[in-house]
Amino acid sequence: MCFELVTVHFFDLRTILVKLVSQAGTGFSFNHKRSRLREKLSLLHYDPIVNKKVLFVEQKKIRSL
């Protein structure tokens, strides 16, 4: 029983919540979850301030999920 609780908790810690910030300089950001084992996240996402898809890069880790 205790072993099952430990493994479930371990698998939950493999994802983290990160903050992605717009590289257009608008200051717009959003949160996204990613695997702890992956490299830092960078992706194209819609920025409502400039009404375009722009590059967002990971700024910091918020918490473990």
- 3-state secondary structure string, the chain? CHHHHHHHHHHHCCEEEEEEEECCCCCCEEEEEEECCCCCCEEEEEECCCCEEEEEEEEEEEEEC
Which pair of tokens denotes residue 37? 């084992």
65 band by pLDDT with thresholds 50, 70 and 90? confident
> Amino acid identity, residue 13?
L
What are the pLDDT digits (tens) for 18-59?
Answer: 999 999 999 999 999 999 999 999 999 999 999 999 999 999
As a CATH number, domain 2-64 is 2.20.28.120
Residue 13 has pLDDT above 90, yes or no: no
Q: What is the residue extent of each domain of the chain?
A: 2-64
Residue 7 has pLDDT above 60, yes or no: no
